[in-house]
């Protein structure tokens, strides 16, 4: 079907290409992420796209020697090192799609073979069980499995709708399961002999302690997530705050130390180590970037790996140990990168909203682009953004807000856009625009976003025609009916609590679908999509392109073969960056 559209054929240019009219262009540089340490902490495996696509690399900590572990042509999303040291579990995204396969390979690159996510299924929540060559994972959010890396035996732990396996006790008689749809997930301990579930807490992350009885969990039962310990003596709060969220945690295999990752001050990171015996705590300092993710212990607890990034600073892998914080694979931040400021303002109904503002040099007002993140239960944070830096270089400001529905601001805020409340989230877009023009930041306005942010872009352009001079929709939903019909079954099932039921809420979903009012869209629009996207299938883009062609609205369609819901190849991201900057500068 796509051949009938006036699609842009992009030409791959070398990294760091120069535009003769506008000067140097910040290139899409490589990054490294998903660190996993060998059991003794002396080697790190991680994912890097330094070769052009995400692949697995192994590197001695403290050395610049790097070794590629070849897992084939498909991009790799994540890697984990077995607690016995003999295997790497690689989460692979065939065709760049959201569907994942799990492949095992030796750290020297031998014995590569697939163990999960076969056929058209997907595998997620991969975890090596401490001290055993057992891999826990979930397929299709319906089947919880244990896989013996030596024998290849696959044993089903549990089945059910919208379940995910978090951990299994050492005796293999109890399992920690996450159950429920988006926005309403909770954790249970299932007795594998009787099938009886015991409720632990609302939330999505939990592990057993070494005794197989104690449970450590990130609870979402309160307004702000916290870390708790659940034992026979009751529930103990280990880490909590009245202003900040516990974003994630990881426990050493011996159960002695917890690393707690905090989300503070609108999206910055802090990392704290807690002695689980004495309660003593100390921060990991200095953190090498504004935003940290993916903390992971070595099996012996001697080292903690994590990813760090910041404005002008790509994802990099770092290790914290008794000797301090050391870079494994990381680039320094660009010295001239624009550092954003956190802005606070009121929505139409008085709700407090925030956003990160990237200002170009010189006095304003400036042409300004509004950028909306995906999710919607995600958060815009001051990490690495080549697009934002490229636009500010050209005198265009970027404002990246967190409208209602975003994470990082408590349970009430993340649920404030569910179902019929989505109209208020769309109205938040206009509140952002009014703040930018009223405060003297913006002269003219553009709007763009990806995934749910692409939906918000389309919704705003059809709800507030004339408000924006230009738009870019990156893999956004345009029609909830076709989204539910064509997306992966497990994605559709999990989305009902957030967007609505495609049958019982059909009228609401139709009214919220931008395609219903597409005749009101007259803003020049670029549509970007990955051809293999099975999360938000390409039909969502095709409907918009057809409608704009029929009405003669200026548009450009940028379709990426071999890519899915995210652009995983550096060449694709470079093309996207070039085309996006060209489109925005043309109309702003």
Tens-digit pLDDT profile for residues 406-443: 999 999 999 999 999 999 999 999 999 999 999 999 99
Q: Rounded to whole angstroms, how far apart are CA atoms 15 and 428?
A: 37
Identify which of 181, 186, 256 has the alpha carbon closest to the alpha carbon of residue 218: 186
* Mean pLDDT of the region 118-122: 89
pLDDT above 60 (res 209): yes
Q: Is the dihedral of CA 66, 67, 68, 69 positive or negative?
A: negative
**Rounded (5°) CA angle 39-166-261:** 65
C-alpha distance from residue 502 to each of 224, 457, 512, 563 (Å): 31, 22, 12, 27
pLDDT above 70 (res 203): yes
Q: Rounded to whole angstroms, how far apart are CA atoms 503 and 129?
A: 41
Does the bond joining 365 to the residue before it have cis omega, within 30 degrees of 0?
yes
Q: Rounded to whole angstroms, how far apart are CA atoms 540 and 484?
A: 11
Identify which of 339, 267, 336, 270 has the alpha carbon closest to the alpha carbon of residue 306: 270
Q: Rounded to whole angstroms, how far apart are CA atoms 213 and 231?
A: 7
C-alpha distance from residue 516 to each of 160, 311, 511 (Å): 35, 38, 7
Q: Rounded to whole angstroms, how far apart are CA atoms 313 and 145?
A: 38
pLDDT above 90 (res 512): yes
pLDDT above 80 (res 5): no
* Mean pLDDT of the region 346-355: 98
pLDDT above 70 (res 14): no
The SS3 of residue 583 is helix
User: From the centroid of its chain, how far is CA 103?
Assistant: 21
**Order of strands, sheet of 442-450, starting from the edge strand that comes earlier in the sequence:** 341-346, 352-358, 397-402, 366-372, 442-450, 470-474, 525-530, 555-560
Tens-digit pLDDT profile for residues 36-79: 999 999 999 999 999 999 999 999 999 999 999 999 999 999 99
Q: Supply the pTM of this predicted model.
A: 0.92
pLDDT above 70 (res 349): yes
Q: Where are the extended beta strands (E) located within 298-396? A: 304-310, 313-321, 324-329, 341-346, 352-358, 366-372
Q: Rounded to whole angstroms, how far apart are CA atoms 148 and 146?
A: 7
Q: What is the largest CA-CA distance in the chain?
A: 71
Q: What percentage of the chain reaches a pLDDT higher than 70?
A: 95
Which ranges of 345-445 does DSSP label H, i.e. alpha helix?
386-393, 411-414, 422-438
C-alpha distance from residue 79 to each of 124, 152, 169, 307, 567 (Å): 12, 19, 23, 13, 19
pLDDT above 80 (res 1): no
pLDDT of 132: 78
Tens-digit pLDDT profile for residues 442-456: 999 999 999 999 999
Confidence of residue 28 (pLDDT cuts 50, 70, 90): low
pLDDT above 60 (res 21): no
Q: Give the per-residue SS3 of 41-70.
A: CCEEEEEECCCCCCEEEEEECCCCCCEEEC
Tens-digit pLDDT profile for residues 362-405: 998 999 999 999 999 999 999 999 999 999 999 999 999 999 99
pLDDT of 26: 45
* Mean pLDDT of the region 209-225: 96
pLDDT above 50 (res 122): yes
pLDDT above 50 (res 131): yes
Backbone torsion region of residue 34, taken as left when φ is above 0, otherwise alpha when ψ lies between -120 and 50, otherwise beta? left
Structural tokens at position 78? 């994540």
Tens-digit pLDDT profile for residues 272-314: 999 999 999 999 999 999 999 999 999 999 999 999 999 999 9
Contact 8, 25 (CB under 8 A): no
Structural tokens at position 152? 């290849």
Confidence of residue 538 (pLDDT cuts 50, 70, 90): very high
Which residues on adjacent β-strands are paired with residue 260? 249, 272
pLDDT of 108: 95
Residue-by-residue DSSP string for 462-490? HHSTTS-SEEEEES--S-HHHHHHHS-HH
pLDDT above 90 (res 178): yes
Q: Give the per-residue SS3 of 233-244.
A: CEEEEEECCCCC
What is the rounded average pLDDT for all residues in the chain? 93
pLDDT of 221: 94
* Mean pLDDT of the region 264-269: 95
């Amino acid at each position: 079907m796509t051949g009938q559209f006036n699609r842009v054929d992009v030409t791959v240019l070398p990294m760091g290409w120069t535009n003769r009219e506008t000067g140097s262009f910040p290139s899409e540089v490589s990054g490294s992420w998903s660190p996993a340490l060998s059991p003794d902490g002396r080697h790190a495996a991680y994912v890097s796209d330094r070769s052009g696509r995400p692949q697995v690399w192994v590197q001695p900590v403290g050395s610049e020697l790097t070794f590629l572990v070849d897992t084939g042509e498909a991009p790799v999303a994540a890697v984990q090192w077995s607690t016995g040291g003999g295997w790497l579990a690689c989460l692979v995204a065939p065709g760049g799609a959201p569907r994942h396969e799990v492949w095992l390979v030796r750290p020297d690159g031998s014995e590569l073979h697939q163990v999960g996510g076969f056929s058209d299924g997907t595998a997620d929540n991969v975890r090596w069980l401490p001290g055993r060559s057992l891999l826990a994972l979930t397929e299709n959010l319906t089947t919880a499995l244990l896989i013996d890396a030596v024998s290849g035996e696959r044993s089903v732990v549990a089945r059910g709708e919208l379940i995910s396996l978090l951990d299994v006790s050492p005796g293999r008689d109890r399992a920690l399961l996450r159950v429920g749809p988006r926005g309403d997930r909770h954790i249970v301990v299932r007795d594998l002999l009787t099938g009886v579930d015991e409720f632990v807490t609302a939330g999505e992350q939990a592990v057993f302690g070494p005794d197989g009885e104690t449970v450590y969990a990130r609870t979402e039962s309160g307004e702000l997530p916290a870390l708790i310990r659940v034992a026979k003596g009751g529930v103990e709060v280990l880490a909590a705050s009245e202003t900040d969220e516990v974003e994630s945690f990881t426990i050493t295999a011996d159960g002695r130390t917890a690393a707690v990752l905090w989300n503070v001050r609108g999206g910055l990171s802090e990392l704290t180590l807690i002695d689980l015996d004495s309660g003593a705590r100390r921060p990991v300092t200095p953190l090498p970037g504004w935003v940290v993710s993916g903390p992971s212990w070595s099996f012996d607890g001697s080292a903690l790996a994590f990813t760090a990034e910041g404005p002008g600073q790509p994802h990099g892998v770092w290790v914290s140990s008794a000797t301090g914080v050391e870079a494994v694979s990381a680039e320094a931040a660009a010295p001239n990168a624009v550092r954003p400021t956190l802005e606070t303002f009121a929505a139409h109904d008085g709700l407090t909203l925030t956003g990160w503002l990237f200002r170009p040099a010189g006095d304003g007002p400036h042409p300004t682009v509004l950028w909306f993140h995906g999710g919607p239960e995600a958060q815009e944070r001051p990490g690495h953004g080549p697009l934002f830096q490229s636009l500010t270089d050209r005198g265009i400001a970027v404002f990246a807000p967190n409208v209602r529905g975003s994470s990082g601001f408590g349970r009430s805020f993340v649920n404030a856009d569910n179902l019929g409340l989505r109209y208020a989230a769309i109205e938040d877009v206009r509140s952002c625009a009014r703040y930018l023009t009223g405060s003297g930041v913006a002269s003219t306005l553009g709007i763009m976003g990806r995934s749910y942010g692409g939906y918000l872009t389309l919704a705003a352009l059809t709800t507030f025609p004339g408000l924006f001079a230009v738009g870019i929709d990156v893999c956004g939903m345009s029609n909830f009916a076709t989204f539910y019909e064509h997306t992966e079954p497990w994605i559709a099932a999990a989305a009902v609590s957030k967007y609505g039921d495609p049958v019982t809420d059909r009228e609401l979903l139709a009214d919220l679908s931008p395609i219903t009012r597409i005749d009101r869209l007259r803003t020049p629009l670029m549509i970007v999509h990955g051809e293999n996207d099975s999360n938000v299938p390409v039909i969502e883009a095709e409907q918009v392109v057809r409608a704009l062609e029929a009405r003669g609205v200026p548009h450009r369609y940028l379709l990426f073969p071999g890519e899915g819901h995210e652009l995983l190849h550096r060449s694709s991201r470079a093309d996207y960056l070039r085309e996006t900057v060209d489109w925005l500068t043309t109309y702003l």
